[in-house]
Chains A and B, each alone.
Chain A
Amino acid sequence: MLEDRKPDRGFVEIDGEECKGCGLCVEACVPRVLRLAESLNRYGYHPAVYDGHGCNGCGLCFFVCPEPGAIRVFKLAAPERGARPEAALAAV
């Protein structure tokens, strides 16, 4: 049944140890696929988590995040769209 679903247009990886749990990414995510974890990281923050479904690869979470490398955004490689950052900028 999962096979039938169109693949997500993107996904994100979050470094739970760099994240400071500010929640700005959660706020920015339009499909609301991010949340702050119940658990704490090593520094006592509730890090952001992505549960693995529904990301559209817009990249907004990356831009609002104050930490340089806490979020990595991946985009579905569609031949006609490519992965140019400008395209993402223009899409906003």
Chain B
Amino acid sequence: MPEYQVLHEKARSFYPRYTRKAEAQHQTHYCPGCGHGVTHKLIARAIDELGIQDRVVLISPVGCSVFAYYYLDVGNVQVAHGRAPAAATAVKRSRPDSIVISYQGDGDLAAIGSAEILHAANRGEPVTVFFINNAIYGMTGGQMAPTTLIGQKSTTSPFGRSIWNEGYPLHVCEVLAALEAPVYLERVALGNSKQVMAAAKAVRRAIENQVRGLGFSLVEILSPCPTIWKKNPVEAQRWVREEMAKVYPLGVFRDRTKEAEPRPAPAPPPALGDLPRILEIGDGAGEALPPLPKDPFADHRIKIAGFGGQGVLMLGEVLAEAGLAAGLEVSWLPSYGPEMRSGTSNCHVRLSTRAIDSPLVAHPTLLLALNEPSLRKFSATVEPGGWILYNGDQLPADCARQDVHVAAIPFTRLADRVGDARAGNMVMLGALLEITGLLPEAHIDYALRRKVKSERWLELDRRALAAGREAARQGVTHAS
């Protein structure tokens, strides 16, 4: 009896059974003759040969191959449409020893994900990308892709793709080859057995590059989609070979695998405790600033609104800095239009004794309105029982509310008397502190010293604060 040995069989990197559904657990969900199945096999085989099954993380896309994770027995992440290169970046950077494979269709990579792939390639992320170009959106039933051939009909190019209407087929390898960083770019095809064998080599090389620690590798695979093309599998193979490969020439577009240096390991991230120092965030260290008690629970939601140039953001920053120094949880969220100067701007500040869920303040407990439009815009949003501080002699009658406290004080005019109308924000802050006792004087002064570098302004702001406190003591008008 002659002796035979197994030469090729199902790769170990495939699951023995696919648990996606109760029936047909020994079959993929791909149509007969689909290039995704062939590509999966080439990838699984390369993983077996390189002995890296335990290190691979496969990022599956949106598209017909969304279920790749049911087949390949490796680490798996399935991500939003087009975002595989971003997810691959995250996985690779946080687990540098993993071998990260981004698997994407042409709708996924070349349409919705075109920015992601461009920048991942430009950063030279040391990951491996397999780009399945079947010139169509398969999963959604045959819409035009950026890679659809000129004249090719699809549900969204029913008269055939026209360069005047839909532009030219996008040549991804050629575009990426214009970048400096990629190490390896090759286009292969699945148009016959010879092409498949060449594709097998390219797939393996692209993964091996990553194992060697080299940079970005991408293999574009011209791949049959018999179902949407309405061709039988053999005709579809021929179409890949004869039509697609004419438009998308096969070959190596970049090969720096010989000269490329292995990427240096990324520097370890700084210790968490070092972040305030690195980011120059003041935590009051070195100052005698007693922390505020965490009990009782307090959650101040502050909205400060006015014209650009009135110091809206600065007021918020001083509050947030002082809160930080007092050991509170704080958030500061600026919100302004494109105008920067003359437009309205506002900022959201939260000061809390507990962790803050969102920096957004939709219903403030304290509204600081530095002008009338801001008052009109936000007065109705103030929580009942809260405070409105308004920069004016009195609230316009139609803004009056019976269920909130109001202090209407001409802050800008007071600031002008102190020496500069632009210090109106600090006059307002002074009044706020006087009325609410929100934060101790010492913490505010510490924050001011951090924020205001000019001696003249620091002195002016201190006087403005005092003027605000004084005005509050005299003239707060309470609602009933």
Contact = CB atoms under 8 A, between A and B. Distances in A.
Interface of A: 7, 10-11, 15, 17-18, 20-24, 27-28, 43, 45, 57, 59-60, 62-69, 71-77, 83, 85, 88-89, 92
Q: How would you classify the secondary structure of chain B's contact residues: helix, strand, loop or mixed?
A: mixed
Contacts of B226: 22
Contacts of A20: 27, 31-33
Contact of B234 (A11, A27, A43): A27
A89 B201 contact: yes
| Best-surrounded residue of B10, B30, B34, B44 (most CB of chain A within 10 A) | B10
Contacts of A88: 7-8
Contact of A75 (B5, B10, B14, B33): B5
Interface in B1-34: 2-11, 14, 24, 26-28, 30-34
Interface stretch (B35-43, B124-132, B317-325, B462-470): B35-43
Nearest to B13: A68
Contacts of A77: 2-5
A92 B44 CA distance: 20
B192 interface: yes
A11 B6 CA distance: 9
B75 interface: no
Given A66-B37, A68-B37, A92-B197, A24 B237 contact: yes
A66 B4 contact: no
Contacts of A69: 9-10, 14, 26
B193 A60 contact: yes
A82 to B, nearest CB: 8
Given A45-B32, A62-B8, A75-B4, 11 more contacts: A20-B27, A21-B32, A59-B7, A59-B8, A60-B197, A64-B196, A68-B11, A72-B9, A74-B4, A77-B4, A83-B7
Given A24-B237, A28-B193, A92-B194, A64 B38 contact: yes
Given A63-B193, A88-B7, A22 B233 contact: yes
A89 to B, nearest CB: 6
B68 to A, nearest CB: 12
A27 B439 CA distance: 81
